[in-house]
């Protein structure tokens, strides 16, 4: 075999190797195994990011700073390895066919190609209005109760008015100067929650009516039957509950002789003795409401960076009485017991890992975010409790 044939053979071999190396993109590599091993980490990162973003927006609202929201539109995952190769033939390999003066060299580079592709989109225009500015549908509120959430928690968070009972409506925007009206509303929702705990509360549609007309029914006949068959130990409790239900009707201006109440959102029309007219908050209103109970350092109060609410005596009002299921703490140093935290204006704001109420409320708000972004229909029939 001549020297020229040897050179051509070496060149062909190098070319084949280069083709093998350079043609390796898209090879299975880790593939499904890599996805199974890393998918939980991606899932945890997405949840953590959403919680931290929500917390930071609540803190921003406390300082009357603009909020920003980036929603994950898509999360791509290649699950493949990309193999890049190159072959070095040397400067003089083909310059002189009489001799080989350089060695053939090859290099191989493997790129795992397993990083996710994340598309983030800020809501704008009609999407922003739909998510943040549109009032929450009461059918969504009842659906949350159907899903196991406490009536007291859901109503205090999502509802700002029922008949002439006001649930700190001033809290739906920047921190007000005067203490809000909320005590009668909270007394109303506590009794309603107790009736729900005893399976006396039902939501649904009146027979013969369209699903657009919702009703609330207090099953007082069931309560009377329990009283008749109650033991000595439970008799006192059920009689007390019956008294509290009468107080519930009095607070809302309802007829004592009625157990079936229509639900509406029209405050212009006359409110009858058998009607519950309900006004729900928007998602932005919910966030402002919760932001009132974000703790801030005294220095920031003294500098006027946040608003201060005063009670009738001129003392600082404690929003913990209103936002009883949610609070955010602050610390100059990174907290060790934080479930979720963010750093803002030189402070760490966080929800403690053992603050179960605040964690549950944060979860509830995240569910509201999903509902507000969806095409949930207001005329969905709902029967919550039997």
In the chain, domain spans: 3-121, 126-373
pLDDT the model gives residue 14: 46
pLDDT the model gives residue 34: 57
**Which residue, 265, 161, 164, 260, is CA-closest to 212?**
265
- Tens digits of residue pLDDT in 202-227: 888 666 555 557 899 999 999 999 99
Tell me whether residue 226 is exposed, middle or buried, using C-beta atoms within 10 angstroms of its C-beta: 0 to 12, 13 to 18, 19 or more.
Answer: middle
With bands split at pLDDT 50, 70 and 90, how would you rate the model's confidence at 186?
very high
Pairwise pLDDT comparison (122 vs 268), residue with the higher score: 268
**Averaged confidence pLDDT in the chain:** 80
Instruction: Give the residue carrying structure tokens 């033939």.
Output: 89
User: Would you list the DSSP string of 192-216?
Assistant: HHHHHHTT-EEEEE-TTS-TTSEEE
- Tens digits of residue pLDDT in 85-127: 444 444 444 444 444 444 444 444 444 555 556 666 666 667 7
Enter the DSSP assignment of 303.
Answer: T
pLDDT the model gives residue 242: 96
């Amino acid at each position: 075999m001549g020297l020229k044939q040897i050179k051509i053979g070496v060149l062909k071999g190098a070319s084949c190797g280069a083709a093998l190396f350079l043609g390796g993109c898209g090879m299975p590599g880790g593939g499904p195994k890599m996805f199974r091993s890393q998918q939980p980490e991606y899932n945890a990162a997405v949840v953590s990011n959403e919680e931290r973003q929500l917390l930071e927006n609540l803190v921003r609202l406390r300082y009357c700073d603009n909020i920003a929201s980036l929603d994950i539109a898509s999360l791509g995952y290649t699950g493949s390895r990309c193999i890049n190769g190159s072959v070095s033939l040397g400067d003089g390999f083909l310059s002189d066919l009489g001799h080989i003066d350089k060695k053939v060299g090859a290099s191989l580079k493997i790129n795992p190609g397993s990083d996710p592709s994340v598309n983030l989109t800020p809501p704008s225009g009609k999407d922003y209005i739909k998510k943040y500015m549109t009032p929450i549908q009461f059918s969504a509120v009842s659906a949350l109760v159907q899903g196991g959430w406490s009536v007291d928690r859901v109503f205090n968070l999502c509802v700002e008015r029922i008949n002439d009972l006001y649930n700190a409506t001033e809290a739906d925007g920047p921190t007000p100067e005067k203490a809000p009206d909320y005590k009668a509303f909270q007394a109303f929702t506590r009794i309603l929650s107790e009736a729900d705990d005893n399976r006396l509360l039902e939501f649904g549609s009146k027979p013969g009516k369209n699903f657009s007309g919702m009703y609330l029914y207090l099953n007082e006949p069931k309560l009377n039957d329990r009283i008749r068959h109650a033991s000595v130990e439970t008799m006192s409790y059920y009689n007390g509950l019956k008294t509290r239900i009468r107080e519930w009707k009095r607070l809302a201006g309802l007829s004592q002789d009625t157990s079936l109440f229509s639900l509406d959102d029209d405050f212009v029309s006359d409110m009858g003795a058998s009607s519950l007219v309900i006004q729900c908050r928007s998602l932005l209103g919910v966030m402002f409401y919760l932001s009132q109970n974000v703790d801030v350092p005294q220095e920031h109060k003294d500098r006027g960076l946040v608003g201060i609410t005063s009670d009738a005596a001129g003392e600082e009002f404690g929003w913990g009485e209103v936002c009883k299921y949610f609070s955010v703490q602050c610390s100059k140093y990174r907290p060790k017991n934080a479930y979720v935290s963010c750093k803002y204006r030189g402070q760490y704001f966080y929800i403690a890992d053992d603050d179960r109420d605040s964690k549950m409320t944060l979860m509830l708000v995240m569910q509201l975010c999903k509902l507000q972004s969806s095409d949930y229909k207001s005329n969905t029939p709902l029967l919550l409790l039997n």
